Amino acid sequence: MRTISEYLPEHPFFRGLDERWIDLVVGCAANTHVYPGAYLFREGGPADRFFVVRRGRVTIETSTPTGSIVLDTAHEGDVVGWSWLVAPFRWTFDARATEETSLVAVDGACLRGKCEADPELGYALLQRVVQTMSDRLQSARARLLDLYGNRS
Amino acid sequence: MSTQDEVATERSRTVDSAMVPRQFVVTASRRDTRDTRTLELRALGDEPLAFGSGQFTMLSAFGAGEVPISISGDPTRPEVLQHTIRDVGGATRALVAASPGTMLGVRGPFGHGWQVADGRGSDIVFVAGGIGLAPLRPAILEVCADRASYGRVSLLYGARTPEDILFGPDLRVWARDHDIDVEETVDTGPHAWRGRVGLVTQLVARVAFDAAHTLALVCGPEVMMRYAAQALIHCGVTADRIRLSMERNMKCGVGLCGHCQLRELFLCVDGPVLSYDRLEPLMTRAEL
């Protein structure tokens, strides 16, 4: 497996970031491995990290009185979590591994500090996080339309 | 008779024959999902119905009504006419209920199809949503039959739930035997579902294709097709290389009645398959 400093610069989320900023992100990152059923985070908990899935599958879930519902899944290459950058820095959903999953965990509090010290880095990361949020929002809105029920 | 009259007479004969249903008998009916079945039909004492992938017929259940249904079978086997039909009430309910031996009426085939051979030498990306996989199936089979002529082939398929996924055995065969990168996703899935949950357009960025040499064929609900086209363009595919299968209220099938009109287009003859560069200005206009 490639090291984090080899892997992150090639990842679409980080592609194009200045090399010195990549080094800062790498300085806040660590490899982690979780087993099926393990939660990466729980709704309401402190959003102090975000994750890049290197291998495996993660479900984004929310709890209802009749059980949890899977809202989205994340797979190899996906970025999980944006609440680390948005006050009040609390997770809005649960995230759980459903198979053995390898991830890069990035310390959000560490990165926030670096973003505040270097607004250019903050803006570059914000652009990427907003893109992720925009993709999720479009997906959620389109699925609200229940499109597949309508074509005969 | 003048040449003009001869042309008019010939056109009238063509239109007349296109308006008269041929009799077909149901030879098999297979349940695909809770509300969708595939019927196999054979022409009664007549020549088979040759068709191109992406074309449709006007299918009638006698006494119930006539509806446009895309052909979902193999274009190299015209002796078996396959239609995959979702029960949405009325005529489609009668068609879905048709058991082997039932007589149905068939007009067509109509329309301009996928012309998938234009993609020879290129990568192919199929994007299907819901029952939109049915009109794409003939094109996929065409590619499978001539697989060496195409580059990388991907099929991105979105369904409402895992139970709504069509042609499950086909999807596995296409991936295993024909080197097609099949990616499925569902809008909502139970915990037992081990695949993806999300929108099909999100898959576009996940598969490998050479955008400058790609032909993309997209079929599904219109909003989904628009988002899929935008995702493909974002990845570098040009609008003239993205083809969509449009659905309107096809009635006559020969461009006369105007029910399927989309501004200057009659979708039953100009479509249903059209390139996105022609469709884009029409698809963002409300109530067109």
CA separation for the pair B217, B136 (Å, rounded) = 8
Q: Is A149 exposed, middle or buried (0-12, 13-18, 19+ CB in 10 A)?
A: middle
CA separation for the pair B83, B66 (Å, rounded) = 14
- Tell whether A145 is within 8 A of chain B (Cβ): yes
pLDDT (mean) for B172-180: 96
B10 sits in which H/E element:
helix B3-19
Interface probe, candidates B66, B166, B199, chain A, greatest A C-beta count within 10 A: B199
Contact residues, chain B, for A68 at CB < 8 Å: 191
* Residue-level pLDDT at A152: 38
Contact residues, chain A, for B195 at CB < 8 Å: 73
pLDDT above 70 as % of chain B:
94
- Using CB atoms, which residue from B130, B196, B247 is nearest to A148? B130
Q: What is the identity of the amino acid at A112?
A: R
What would the pLDDT profile of A48-70 be if each residue is shown by its tens digit? 999 999 999 999 999 888 888 99
pLDDT above 90 as % of chain A:
61
Q: What is the CA radius of gyration of chain A?
A: 16
Chain-centroid distance, C-alpha A62: 16
CB B198 to CB A139 under 8 A?
yes
Helices B133-145 and B168-177 cross at an angle (nearest 10°) of 30
Nearest to B87, CA basis, from B109, B69, B101, B102: B69
- Tell whether A149 is within 8 A of chain B (Cβ): yes
- Kindly provide the b/e burial profile for residues A136-146, where b requires at least 16 CB atoms within 10 angstroms of the residue's own CB: bebbeebbeee
What would the pLDDT profile of B228-286 be if each residue is shown by its tens digit? 999 999 999 999 999 999 988 888 898 888 888 888 899 989 989 999 999 998 888 77
| Residue B38 DSSP SS3 | strand
Architecture per CATH, domain A4-145, reads as: Sandwich (2.60)
Nearest to B280, CA basis, from B225, B220, B204, B221: B225
B30 sits in which H/E element:
strand B22-33
A-chain residue closest to B164, CA distance: A148
Peptide bond connecting A88 to the previous residue in cis, omega within 30 degrees of 0 = yes
CB A149 to CB B130 under 8 A?
yes
* Residue-level pLDDT at A151: 42
Q: Are B236 and B211 spatial neighbours (Cβ–Cβ below 8 Å)?
A: yes
pLDDT (mean) for B152-156: 98
pLDDT (mean) for B25-49: 92
Q: Around Cβ B169, how many Cβ atoms within 10 Å?
A: 7
Contacts of B268 (CB under 8 A, 6+ apart): B68, B110, B111, B250, B251, B252, B253, B254, B255, B260
CA separation for the pair A24, A40 (Å, rounded) = 23
- Using CB atoms, which residue from B67, B132, B193 is nearest to A151? B132
A-chain residue closest to B93, CA distance: A152
Q: What is the identity of the amino acid at B247?
A: E
pLDDT above 70 as % of chain A:
97
pLDDT (mean) for A20-41: 93
* Residue-level pLDDT at B191: 85
pLDDT (mean) for B15-33: 89
What would the pLDDT profile of A77-118 be if each residue is shown by its tens digit? 999 999 998 899 999 999 999 999 999 999 999 999 999 999
Nearest to A72, CA basis, from B261, B259, B54, B188: B188
Nearest Cα of chain A lies from the Cα of B75 at a distance, in angstroms, of 22
Under CATH, what is the fold of the domain B3-110?
Elongation Factor Tu (Ef-tu); domain 3 (2.40.30)
CB A73 to CB B197 under 8 A?
yes
Class of domain B116-283: alpha beta
B-chain residue closest to A98, CA distance: B194
CB B129 to CB A147 under 8 A?
yes
* Residue-level pLDDT at B283: 86
* Residue-level pLDDT at B70: 95
Contact residues, chain B, for A135 at CB < 8 Å: 202
| Residue B156 DSSP SS3 | strand
Q: Around Cβ B151, how many Cβ atoms within 10 Å?
A: 16
- Using CB atoms, which residue from A12, A148, A152 is nearest to B164? A148
Contact residues, chain A, for B272 at CB < 8 Å: none
Q: What is the identity of the amino acid at B106?
A: V
Nearest Cα of chain A lies from the Cα of B129 at a distance, in angstroms, of 7
CB B191 to CB A68 under 8 A?
yes
* Residue-level pLDDT at B172: 96
- Using CB atoms, which residue from B159, B197, B227 is nearest to A72? B197
Judged by phi (left if over 0) then psi (alpha if -120 to 50, else beta), residue A112 lies in: alpha
**B232 phi, psi to nearest 5 deg:** -65, -40
- Tell whether B135 is within 8 A of chain A (Cβ): no
Q: Are B219 and B137 spatial neighbours (Cβ–Cβ below 8 Å)?
A: no
- Tell whether A59 is within 8 A of chain B (Cβ): yes
Nearest Cα of chain B lies from the Cα of A64 at a distance, in angstroms, of 14
With the C-alpha atoms ordered A100, A106, A109, A110, is the resulting torsion angle positive or negative? positive
Supply B222's token pair. Answer: 């219109």
Supply B282's token pair. Answer: 């029409």
Angle at B131 between CA B125 and CA B135, to 5 degrees: 60
Q: Are B105 and B38 spatial neighbours (Cβ–Cβ below 8 Å)?
A: no
- Tell whether B194 is within 8 A of chain A (Cβ): yes
Q: Which residue has the tokens 């039953």?
A: B268
Q: Are B226 and B284 spatial neighbours (Cβ–Cβ below 8 Å)?
A: yes
Beta-strand relationship, B123-129 and B214-219: parallel
ipTM of model: 0.83
In this predicted structure, the answer to whether residue B17 has a pLDDT above a threshold of 70 is yes
In this predicted structure, the answer to whether residue B101 has a pLDDT above a threshold of 50 is yes
Supply B188's token pair. Answer: 């909502």
Q: Which residue has the tokens 């907003």?
A: A130
Domain ranges of chain A: 4-145
Nearest to A73, CA basis, from B162, B199, B224: B199
Domain ranges of chain B: 3-110, 116-283
